Structure 1
């Protein structure tokens, strides 16, 4: 190598790198051994990042090909705006110009989306504080933001990005949004329908042209996902009524030039209506043909119904799974007679092979321990595949309330045709909460609440809580902890410590209270998948604290048995719950029986409370609901039933239309003191609120209530029952279940306190 200095410089512009190195004759450098490598121009990037990307090291031979590869590798890092290589003797100099770093990302003019949500969306595509600025990434972010606004029917939304350079080679990014007005659906048309009117078909859609409640439901805002769901509803409607060749030919969505109005046109072909002539079973049914026939939902002589066909094939597949045939195939093959518009359905079954479950794999539980999920599974490893147990297991995991999604997938084991793995994927949700809030009801006025809850403490599945509630009539301080698997068999254990003060709602301004403090221990024993029996006991102390306007019945009880009472109540309870939802049930049944036996202390008594609820879906929109609650109490050991254990009735949760807790016995002062016997009967017809589509979180209901409370020496008589009818609204609000009810008493007596309009948070029935 000559001693004179050679200079080699390559201007690296990505589009011309290959051409620069192609001009080898003009820029070529004879290969040489690199004695040293220097890096110039670094500000924030570590030199090690450069050295790790170079395809050569000190002591190795440098060539033009390696130089081109070095430039490509450095540009691929995405950290540099310019890269140059210079050769000085046997020293290679790497000169870089770093991209500016994003110092801050701000949004101006956004109202539809929360700022934090937008920043998270940009963070997911790599545009966030501390990352190198990339113009292509910024353009992509603009398009993504526009797409998000289009999904909200804001077609006129504009996004402008401003890049502001600041000191130390940094930039501030500002996305200025002009949202405009949302585009609204002005017309939905059906073309090709003959059997059903256009209005009937439009009523199937969640999308509509708007009504007085659209500000809440946003049903007049176009969404491709919602339209696809509505089209599937339309298809199902026809297929369930015999039109087995129904098809949607096309869907046109047109937007006005000002991007404010949207028209939707659905072109469809109904086809002929077919009636089922016969149903036949073909294939291998494991010698259990009669059992499979009992699962057939398809009815010959009735119009073809795709829902019944789907239910039947699914029932067959599930039944095969019960015997371990995880890969069973069931096909409903139609044999169409177009001359008579009749169709015979052939149910072809092939059970394939029986399978064992080799392994249960759990994923997605970053915080929750595997044990918490595994102990809910009834399908065991190394056991026959059982579809019923797998579905039950999935439901049990879902009912834990720790996950937003629970999916179970069956995966074949390679080289083992008789084995499968079950892959359980979960998506965790936050299970801890700190709440501070205020509520208001027509009965209790202002109530403040504070609570700390952790439903999945430390990922163990245990429950911990501390609650404080204040209201005009009921105040509570309570601590509770539950171990749902105190034993391996699933017996739960609950510790409770509480202090409650209460008084009747109608105290006429009095300031007396009933104060109850206690410690309790309870065990829950599962006897089946839906039945649990509870055993427990506690130590309670109740004090009657006298004050102004204290009812005479309380004074009489206190004068005879004292103002304080200590008791040891034992609790035995049972519950069965197979409802499809605890908040907005549509089907299923709930039953609960709680008995309390005061076996020690100053108060001896028996107290029982039974509740029964039944939900019957009448169709897609209407649900019939019934509620029955019966209470009974009796004093033991020659003593009367403790007055502070009385039941109350009237108001929300019992007989609406009457003031809270004002039904039943009164003492000589006219105060309502409740009683040891209670009966409540409620019936409701529930439907989504008009204009809210099929949104079940906002519902309208009509109701009829019957009930009352009776004294210890009174006979329960239908003649003494009060009754009311009315309408109401229930809403699953951010504060909890909220119910408004307007009731008209249809059976009342002189002296009854009437309150036609009532509302409360957290009340059912």
Structure 2
């Protein structure tokens, strides 16, 4: 019916144009004294007058009449246009198209109304625009396309047009979404060297499991399939199958459009071994330096990853010497008789160039200097690819931008110059965080945070943090200027108030209250290393109450219930992990020390931590964490009991109650110690059914640790150990760690807690 109506409407329009043209041709030329427009409701008369090819005082002709009709139809605002004459007055009679008064949706759950409104605006349809049936058809197809991108192939869209007053219409898009299409089967045909199961492990798409509602790994999309085909190709090419190719892929959909089968046809070819690697071309008389970057290993199977790594390393090294447009090609001389391949690395450095200008675009809030001060590539200096890459990473680590790109553009007429164009897309940097956490030690706790990472576009950071817990409560106000000096020395000012009850197992209402302020400077030594220097002013008060441990009373009786300290802080950190939340490779180290020489508390305290992440494969990671702490009293005084280390539970030796390892006082309270060590080993795997999703992973662990009191002899007798399994989830509240641990080395009287979890911890 709709097609029939469209055909009749087209015929009617053509007839109208023909009749109007005949009418225009039937008029003898005359001088126009006035022009009158009839039929307008919403369109301004000026819109019509500006489109007419004839003006008052000009001569009207048949050609101008036909041109006027074409021009007015071309506006897209009128469904009918006629020209009439009344003496020497030209009368323009129009019938306006209906306009869209309102656009609404019904039945949509996958997308919000706002998202669908944006889709229609991009298609040219919105409230206030002329109604056009062809535009409605295009809008329906665009809405369907959005649902297809979400694997909802059965989605249907029907439009209801409701006329209203003043020649307007309301549009309602009735959407039947259906269910997302699921992958019922994946078949790989033509494989011989590797099993189908091994090849399917390389794919992110799968037929689903009990966690598919979370990972959506069984929802088909063409983009996901293309990525999996590239992963499959990379798998074979990295194992010597130089002639591997994917012959075809068939995606068959069930009649209900809710089930899909995928078939991948491959040809493996023969396995090739690298017979040798040679260099040809111009290597700037630095052949030995380039040869040291060759990752291709003769005598082993051809590995496309090694070839790509080598060519990239060569290109980057050329870039480091200013050759921004160097060409490096890996040519393969294949001996198919003996299944061997010789790799020839052909290089042409081209012309050396320098950077003329660095142009920053897209920053509407952040000041240019905040971005430019992170750059290690300078204007009027030789182009250096390593410095440009480092500059990009430094700008990206600011965390102010959702998108960041650096491209080089040749300067017209200057072949030895390039401009660097830095394109950024800003994101909101202020946030209010309200959350709740639960741990087996702290029970229920609430957190509130108010932060501005880029205050007034200056790059300075302001923070207010509040944490409530059963035993630990904290209020911290902090301000950081990352470029307190032009050399990148940062300055942080902290004011804090903390209440603690370390010996929670004793009950009672005693507390340890610490209030103070600190000033800390961070001095960058290298791009990965930072040294921290600072000083705090603290007042620690032992607030007596019921069941106060004897260790507190003894310290208070000797040195008073209030202690003033002015500890100096010295620290160093180095972070080369690939991710702070879900690392798979890299190392993190931190060394922090406190030295109290002024005030009531005289002591020295140091803590060193190292984490190492070793990728075993795409799915598996070996993670190691080691921590050593040491403290000692100075000036003849004992180490302050409220500065003790604690061990046991999450963050140290799992399977034992939190902070229950080590020495006790005469009341049986766990008083911590002055020396400790912890070693954690984790084997991290994908969660069953979650595919390769790194936000949800399982791990098996072995923990070893010990805690020693002041003056206590260090022996292996105090060592505790445990083993178990756990779950790591990057949840909306932060990293969640859940562990079930069983002690494998314990002592009589140790408190066991097999099930433990906490929000916001690692290891």
TM-score normalised by the shorter chain: which range applies? over 0.9
Deviates more, 1:653-662 or 1:108-117: 108-117
Task: Name the residue aligned to 1:241.
Answer: 239
CA 308–720 in structure 1, closer or farther in 2 if over 3 Å, else same: same
Q: Secondary structure at the match of 1:254?
A: strand
Q: Secondary structure at the match of 1:234?
A: helix
Deviation at 1:716, TM superposition (A): 3.1
CA 392–257 in structure 1, closer or farther in 2 if over 3 Å, else same: same
Task: Name the residue aligned to 2:438.
Answer: 440
Deviates more, 1:533-542 or 1:49-58: 49-58
CA 234–619 in structure 1, closer or farther in 2 if over 3 Å, else same: same
Task: Name the residue aligned to 1:401.
Answer: 399
Task: Name the residue aligned to 2:739.
Answer: 741
Task: Name the residue aligned to 2:213.
Answer: 215
Deviates more, 1:675-684 or 1:26-35: 26-35
Deviation at 1:50, TM superposition (A): 4.3
CA distance in 2, matches of 1:61, 1:634: 106
Number of residues of Structure 1 aligned to a counterpart in Structure 2: 755
Deviation at 1:151, TM superposition (A): 2.2
Contact preservation (8 Å) 1:13, 1:82: no
Q: Secondary structure at the match of 1:479?
A: strand
Task: Name the residue aligned to 2:639.
Answer: 641
Deviation at 1:529, TM superposition (A): 0.3
Any idea what the Cα deviations from partners look like across 1:149-168, whole Å, max 9, x if unmatched?
Answer: 22222222212222333445
- TM-score, length of structure 1 as denominator length: 0.93
CA distance in 2, matches of 1:505, 1:43: 81
Task: Name the residue aligned to 2:341.
Answer: 343
- Aligned pair 1:173/2:154, yes or no? no
- Aligned pair 1:425/2:418, yes or no? no
Q: How does 1:369-388 map to 2 (within 5 A)?
A: 369-388=367-386
1:300 counterpart (288, 298, 301): 298
- Aligned pair 1:705/2:703, yes or no? yes
Task: Name the residue aligned to 2:3.
Answer: none
Contact preservation (8 Å) 2:604, 2:633: yes
- TM-score, length of structure 2 as denominator length: 0.94
CA distance in 2, matches of 1:56, 1:237: 71
CA 762–59 in structure 1, closer or farther in 2 if over 3 Å, else same: farther
Deviates more, 1:186-195 or 1:383-392: 186-195
Q: How does 1:47-196 map to 2 (within 5 A)?
A: 47-55=45-53, 57-196=55-194
Deviation at 1:120, TM superposition (A): 3.1
Q: Report the RMSD for the aligned CA atoms in angstroms.
A: 2.4
Contact preservation (8 Å) 1:543, 1:565: yes
Q: How does 1:433-582 map to 2 (within 5 A)?
A: 433-504=431-502, 506-582=504-580
Q: Secondary structure at the match of 1:601?
A: coil
Task: Name the residue aligned to 2:6.
Answer: none
Contact preservation (8 Å) 1:335, 1:343: yes
CA distance in 1, matches of 2:134, 2:634: 82
Task: Name the residue aligned to 2:351.
Answer: 353
CA 93–306 in structure 1, closer or farther in 2 if over 3 Å, else same: same
Contact preservation (8 Å) 1:740, 1:758: yes
Deviation at 1:122, TM superposition (A): 2.8
Contact preservation (8 Å) 1:656, 1:705: yes
Deviation at 1:590, TM superposition (A): 0.8
CA 671–415 in structure 1, closer or farther in 2 if over 3 Å, else same: same
CA distance in 1, matches of 2:505, 2:53: 88
Deviation at 1:696, TM superposition (A): 0.8
Deviation at 1:449, TM superposition (A): 1.6
CA distance in 2, matches of 1:484, 1:56: 67
- Segments of structure 1 that go 5 or more residues without pairing to the other structure are 1-10
CA distance in 2, matches of 1:500, 1:101: 64
Contact preservation (8 Å) 1:34, 1:59: yes
CA 97–365 in structure 1, closer or farther in 2 if over 3 Å, else same: farther
CA distance in 1, matches of 2:438, 2:666: 32
Task: Name the residue aligned to 1:670.
Answer: 668
CA 559–242 in structure 1, closer or farther in 2 if over 3 Å, else same: same
Task: Name the residue aligned to 1:615.
Answer: 613
2:590 counterpart (589, 592, 613): 592
CA distance in 2, matches of 1:580, 1:316: 23
Contact preservation (8 Å) 2:646, 2:661: yes
Q: Secondary structure at the match of 2:504?
A: coil
Deviates more, 1:338-347 or 1:558-567: 558-567
Contact preservation (8 Å) 1:507, 1:550: no
Task: Name the residue aligned to 2:332.
Answer: 334
Q: Secondary structure at the match of 1:438?
A: strand
Any idea what the Cα deviations from partners look like across 1:675-726, whole Å, max 9, x if unmatched?
Answer: 2222111111112212211111111111111113222222333320211111
Any idea what the Cα deviations from partners look like across 1:612-651, whole Å, max 9, x if unmatched?
Answer: 1111111211111111112222222322222222222111
CA distance in 2, matches of 1:370, 1:15: 57
Deviation at 1:380, TM superposition (A): 0.7
Deviation at 1:321, TM superposition (A): 0.8
Deviation at 1:38, TM superposition (A): 4.6
Task: Name the residue aligned to 1:6.
Answer: none
Any idea what the Cα deviations from partners look like across 1:395-429, whole Å, max 9, x if unmatched?
Answer: 11111111222222121111111111112222222
Q: Secondary structure at the match of 2:566?
A: strand
Deviates more, 1:72-81 or 1:442-451: 72-81
Deviation at 1:559, TM superposition (A): 2.5
Contact preservation (8 Å) 1:41, 1:97: yes
Q: Secondary structure at the match of 2:457?
A: coil
CA distance in 2, matches of 1:96, 1:18: 12
Deviates more, 1:276-285 or 1:69-78: 69-78
CA 13–576 in structure 1, closer or farther in 2 if over 3 Å, else same: farther
CA 745–422 in structure 1, closer or farther in 2 if over 3 Å, else same: same
CA distance in 1, matches of 2:455, 2:257: 51
Q: Secondary structure at the match of 1:383?
A: coil
Q: Secondary structure at the match of 1:560?
A: helix
Deviation at 1:190, TM superposition (A): 1.6
Deviates more, 1:381-390 or 1:368-377: 368-377
Deviation at 1:532, TM superposition (A): 0.8
CA distance in 1, matches of 2:507, 2:95: 79
Deviation at 1:107, TM superposition (A): 2.7
Contact preservation (8 Å) 1:298, 1:312: yes
CA 433–134 in structure 1, closer or farther in 2 if over 3 Å, else same: farther
CA distance in 2, matches of 1:213, 1:425: 38
CA 512–327 in structure 1, closer or farther in 2 if over 3 Å, else same: same
Deviation at 1:90, TM superposition (A): 4.6
Any idea what the Cα deviations from partners look like across 1:473-506, whole Å, max 9, x if unmatched?
Answer: 2212222121111221111111212212121262
Deviation at 1:225, TM superposition (A): 0.7
Contact preservation (8 Å) 1:21, 1:27: no
CA 370–668 in structure 1, closer or farther in 2 if over 3 Å, else same: same
Task: Name the residue aligned to 1:7.
Answer: none
Deviation at 1:306, TM superposition (A): 1.0
Q: Secondary structure at the match of 1:433?
A: strand
CA distance in 2, matches of 1:70, 1:430: 51
- Segments of structure 2 that go 5 or more residues without pairing to the other structure are 1-8
CA distance in 2, matches of 1:640, 1:143: 78
CA distance in 2, matches of 1:33, 1:155: 62
CA distance in 1, matches of 2:64, 2:291: 74
